[in-house]
Amino acid sequence: MPEQVLIDAVLPAGGTSDPDFAAVSGSPIKALIKFPDKTILENVAGAMHGSSQIRRTVIIGSELVRPIAEKLDCFWVEEGKSGPENIFKGLDYLNEQPDPPSHILIATTDIPFITTAHVDWLLGHLSTRKDIYVPCVRETDFIALYEGCPATFVKMKNDSFTLGGMFLYDAKVLQRVRPHIERIFNQRKSLLGMAKLVGPVFAFKLLTRMLVIQDVENKVGAVLQCQGSAVLDCPAELAFDVDDAEDYSYGMQWVKDHPRT
C-alpha cells in the first residue's frame, strides 16, 4: 500500500466455542485459546503491533480480553451480539478518534500462526485501488504446509482455494455496505438463502467447477455493490483457523512437530 494510506486494524474477539470444544481447548472463547502458551488473540494482536504499516488496533470482545488489549497497547471495545456488529463497533470507535482511518484491516482472532511478516506481506501485495481485498490461499500451498489438516476448499476451473483470515476494506465503503454484510451474515447457514444471494448462474458455475477468480470478484462487487479484488498466492498461515476440536488437535500437534527456533 502507498505510504500515505493509514491502516487501522479491527480484531473481533467475541467468538465462543461449544462446551465440548471448550473442554478440550481450555477456553470458551476462541480468541483466548492458548497455542501452545500464548493466546491466539495475543499472537494476532502482536502481529499487528509489530507492523509499521498498522497505525492503531482495536479489539472487540468481553472483559476477559480487555487485559490483552491493554498489555499490547490496543484499544478495547465491549463486544456486541454478532460478528458483523463487533466489526462495526470497532469501525465506529476508530471513526470517533482523531484522524479517522482511510482503510481498515479486519483480522479474525482464530488464526494462531500469523506473524508480522504475514501482515506486511499482505499489505505489500495490494497494488491496485479496490474497495475490498480478499486473500486467497491455494489448496496446494495449504496442504504443503499443513498436510492432512481438515480444511475446506472451493473447487474452481483452474485451481482450488480457501480464504485467509485478514481482509482490507476502504473504511468509507465498509460503512456503506454494512446492510449487505449483515444480510450475508444472516444467510450464512442457509443454503437457499445463500443461493438467492449469489444467483443461479454463479451457483451453477460453482457446482460444476467452472468458476474463475474474475467471477468471484465480479460477484463480490455485485452483492456488496463495490469493487473487490482477490489477493492470490497468500501464505498458508493466513488460512489455518481453529474452528473446532479437530482443528485444535491438529494445530497443537503441528506446533510440537515444528518448534519455533
Question: Does the pTM of the predicted model rise above 0.85?
Answer: yes
Confidence of residue 249 (pLDDT cuts 50, 70, 90): very high
Q: Any idea where the domains of the chain sit in the sequence?
A: 7-257
β-strand partners of 54: 7
Is residue 245 scored above 60 in pLDDT? yes
Cα atoms in the Cβ-side hemisphere of radius 13 Å centred on 187 = 15
DSSP H helical ranges for the chain: 19-25, 40-49, 66-71, 83-95, 116-124, 139-145, 171-176, 178-186, 191-198, 200-207, 213-224, 245-257
CB atoms within 10 A of CB 38: 11
* Span 113-161, pLDDT tens digits: 999 999 999 999 876 578 888 888 999 999 999 999 988 888 888 788 8
Specify the higher pLDDT residue, 125 or 192.
125
Confidence of residue 191 (pLDDT cuts 50, 70, 90): very low
Q: Which amino acid is at 255?
A: V
CATH architecture of 7-257: Alpha-Beta Complex (3.90)
Specify the higher pLDDT residue, 71 or 205.
71
